[in-house]
Amino acid sequence: MTPFLALIRRELALAVRHGSDTVAALLFFLVTTALFPLAIGPAPATLSGLAPGIVWVAALLATLLPLDRLFGADYEDGSLDQLLLSGLSPLGIAAGKSIAHWLLTGLPLLIAAGPIAVMLRIDPTHIAPLLAGLLPGTLTLSLLGTAGAALVLGSRRPGTLLPILILPLATPVLIFGTIAATTDHPKPELLLLTALLAAAAPLCPLAAGAGLRAAAQ
């Protein structure tokens, strides 16, 4: 087994053991989206217009939840040193962590987003573009989140710093994602989301790797 796959398997094994942490992001997503009909009223006309925005904002915030433990636990117990000495490059470690984060957060959100959108009375023709946007969108958010989590490692208040660093960078994903799910011609927005993913895929692990090296010193 290659070190890269071994790292992903290790992350998944740890996530199974820390089950409550793992489902916390999904539960957060389900609970916050369920609060909106209670707060703004169940009128289908109001809800259906807001549904894509609600799903996207809740997904973005849910993605942030597990980030401060993504490297935090490894940093505190010395495992980060062992990872850096595993023969994987820091870039490889960051990429593996991003994939594990997406499998444990982005993928469950993607699966839950369809039923949630239906609950929020979304226009049925907009369900497919919403999910098609969430696929590259959650991947990009996982990559951005990994880079942020690595860069704030070792700072005194990583939990406070992290959203301030990530949320501005995540706004393009949010904007194109919600437009794709409200317009009748979502193709340009979906292509832009894919372009964002293509830019984040090499750049974010690179930044995260530099952050990990700096934290280990």
- Shortest separation between residue 27's beta carbon and other proteins, angstroms: 20
Residue 187 and residue 185: Cα distance in Å, rounded?
Answer: 6
CA distance 43 to 25: 28
Nearer to other proteins, 9 or 187 (CB): 9
Report the nearest approach of other proteins to the CB of residue 25 (Å): 18
Residue among 119, 166, 125 at smallest CA distance from 142 = 166
Binding site for other proteins (CB under 8 A): 1, 3, 6-7, 9-10, 13-14, 17-18, 77-79, 81-82, 84-89, 216-217
Residue number, 16 or 43, with CB nearest to other proteins: 16
CA–CA distance, 10 with 43 (Å, rounded to integer)? 46
Query: Under a CB-based contact definition with an 8 Å cutoff, are residues 7 and 96 in contact?
Result: yes
C-beta closer to other proteins: residue 16 or 31 = 16
Residue nearer to other proteins on the CB measure, 77 or 155: 77
Question: Which residue type does 178 have?
Answer: T
Collapsing DSSP to helix, strand or coil, 164 comes out as helix
Distance of CA 166 to the CA centre of its chain: 11
**Residue with smaller CB distance to other proteins, 61 or 216:** 216
Q: How far is the CB of 83 from other proteins (least distance, A)?
A: 9
Rounded least distance, CB 100 to other proteins, Å: 13
